[in-house]
Structure 1
Amino acid sequence: MDNTTYRTIWISDLHLGSAQCQADVLLDFLKQTESEKLYLVGDIIDFWSLSKKMYWPREHNTVIQKLLRKARHGTQIIYVPGNHDENVRDYHNYVFGDIVVKNTDVHTTVLGKQFLVVHGDEYDTIAQYHQWIARLGSAGYDFLLWINRILRPVRRWLGIQSHFSLAAYVKFKVKNIVQFISDYEKSIVSTLRDKGLDGVICGHIHHAEIKEMEGFLYVNTGDFVESCTAIVEHFDGSLELMHWLKQDEPALAAQIALEAHVHD
């Protein structure tokens, strides 16, 4: 498959250093896409997980090497740290191997629309003020992902759809979690809509989305531990939410447009 080139790509919540990272799918995505600019929108390296258990397989090294190679070959890469890699925030404006660290950034599309790029934990009251609850929730989420990894080959053997996320299923069945996602989205939009911006591009909650809220565009990149999603900007300025399917799915590395384009 020929590489597809975009003006800008946003990915977040890779969680390298965690057993939950789908590094094989991520590598497939990085190999088959190119862009003038690539944003890493937080939780790229999971220092929370690494502090509990050292886990760094060869594939995670390969991801880092691939990103560094892209930067060397001309892709402008901006790393916006999140709460799982918050120690990187101490290096705002530093350059590591041609990758620039910025705690936030404002991206201007080819149509002139301005988007704040931020991980998003800053707008999550639990992450900000009740970190022990956030860590407990993270552990529960990891447990669901672990169960999902066990169920996946069983479902495949039974001929049942293998691309299934138990964590995503629970998200939409548990009322409090659905409410949390809604509150998070509203918190960001209400805080930023009067800042002279056209929208925000964030991650953090592992729930990919493009939607307009009160005249303000809310864009969430999703993750590469559960849904394997990314946001891309085409050369006409339109934004697209993409789901990069697993390599064992019928359509190898297929790209599925989940939302309408954003036009002038």
Structure 2
Amino acid sequence: MARKDETKTARYRTLWISDVHLGTPGCKAEHLVDFLKHTECENLYLVGDIIDGWKLRSSWFWPQEHTNVVRKILTKSKRGTKVYYVTGNHDEFLRKFVGFGLAIGNIRIVNEHVHTTADGRRLLITHGDAFDVITRYHRWIALVGDFAYELTMQANDHLNRLRRVFGMRYWSLSAFAKKSVKNAVNIVSEFEQSVAHECRRRGLDGVVCGHIHHAEIRDIDGVQYLNSGDWVESCTALAEDFNGRIEVLRWVQIDHLHESPKVTPLKRPAAKKAA
């Protein structure tokens, strides 16, 4: 479990967060504000679905905590952090601005980016929806699936309140569905293989993405696959230290009944200049 120290700030070369879904009740904005408060970085990648335009089009939901997330990001940018907003499918409304090279101070809006780590690896940064056949070719199914996911999350909240009454551990209904439904497992596997194939095609060393709400670092046929997870269920991020080492950070401990991403405890590396 990545634990914060109330008196210290962890400093990293790069942080990646994705799938925050600001504008939805499921967003764990208060935890993200706390994470941003206790971390500093030279580069901050917002890897898509930060703002949920799909949900905001149908109904408006924007409490103060969601504004606080935006303010924290703007503050980091003002203090010198380079912020890359990588568009996703839920915030696709921003893609029409990418062609204009829109930049606000240290904030750039891009569809994808190539990041070079401190140890020289070149990583493709993309949300990942372009490699999801459902989102790309069957939009109506994606919209129905998004609605079903929202209902599942609501049911998940009620179920775990009841489990807590009986002293039982947290159990993720959505994680169970993803792991148990054969078609869902196949779609995730195809997504990961497609992203890795694109990296190999471009001669890149790896990829950082989001989209499927499952934080992970693993090798896929010689390509390093890194997923930053989400801030709806897992409250996870990816972090690069000043030597180029990347790890998964989990800011809030949620004990899943099923296997969770490997989590390295939050370390506080000495402030060193990047080479």
| Counterparts of residues 99-114 of structure 1 (less than 5 Å) | 99-114=107-122
Deviations 1:115-136 (A, max 9, x none): 0100110111111110000111
CA contact (8 A) 1:104 1:116 kept: yes
Residue among 3, 8, 31 paired with 2:37? 31
SS, match of residue 55 in structure 1: coil
CA contact (8 A) 1:20 1:225 kept: yes
Match of 2:104 in 1: 96
* Runs of 4+ with >6 A deviation: none
Deviations 1:15-55 (A, max 9, x none): 00011111111112111111111000000100100111100
**Count of matched residue pairs:** 251
Deviations 1:193-224 (A, max 9, x none): 12110001111111111111111111111110
Distance in 1 (CA, whole Å) between partners of 2:134 and 2:208 is 20
In structure 1, give the amino acid aligned to 2:14.
T
Distance in 1 (CA, whole Å) between partners of 2:134 and 2:233 is 21
Residue among 133, 141, 145 paired with 1:125? 133
Residue among 216, 219, 222 paired with 2:229? 222
CA contact (8 A) 1:107 1:115 kept: yes
Structure 1 residues 97 and 161: alpha-carbon distance in aligned structure 2, compared to 1, 3 A threshold:
farther
Question: Does residue 46 of structure 1 match 2:52?
Answer: yes
Match of 1:66 in 2: 72
CA contact (8 A) 1:68 1:97 kept: no
Match of 2:91 in 1: 85
Question: Does residue 178 of structure 1 match 2:185?
Answer: yes
Match of 1:55 in 2: 61
Unaligned runs of 5+ in 2: 255-261, 266-275
Question: Does residue 147 of structure 1 match 2:155?
Answer: yes
Identity across the alignment (%): 47
The two structures have a TM-score, normalised by structure 2, of 0.87
Measure how far apart 1:139 and its partner are.
0.8
CA contact (8 A) 2:215 2:236 kept: yes
Residue among 218, 226, 248 paired with 1:241? 248
SS, match of residue 61 in structure 1: helix
Residue range with higher mean Cα deviation, 73-82 or 147-156: 147-156
SS, match of residue 219 in structure 1: strand
Distance in 1 (CA, whole Å) between partners of 2:153 and 2:121 is 36
CA contact (8 A) 1:18 1:49 kept: yes
Residue among 10, 14, 18 paired with 1:8? 14
Residue among 194, 200, 203 paired with 1:193? 200
In structure 2, give the amino acid aligned to 1:37.
N
Distance in 2 (CA, whole Å) between partners of 1:256 and 1:211 is 13
Measure how far apart 1:183 and its partner are.
0.8
CA contact (8 A) 1:68 1:98 kept: no
CA contact (8 A) 1:12 1:223 kept: yes
CA contact (8 A) 2:80 2:106 kept: no
CA contact (8 A) 2:86 2:109 kept: yes
Unaligned runs of 5+ in 1: 248-254, 259-264
SS, match of residue 132 in structure 1: helix
Match of 1:250 in 2: none
Match of 2:173 in 1: 166
Distance in 2 (CA, whole Å) between partners of 1:194 and 1:42 is 23
SS, match of residue 9 in structure 1: strand
Residue range with higher mean Cα deviation, 211-220 or 95-104: 95-104
Instruction: Please report the RMSD computed on the Cα atoms of aligned residues, expressed in angstroms.
Output: 1.7
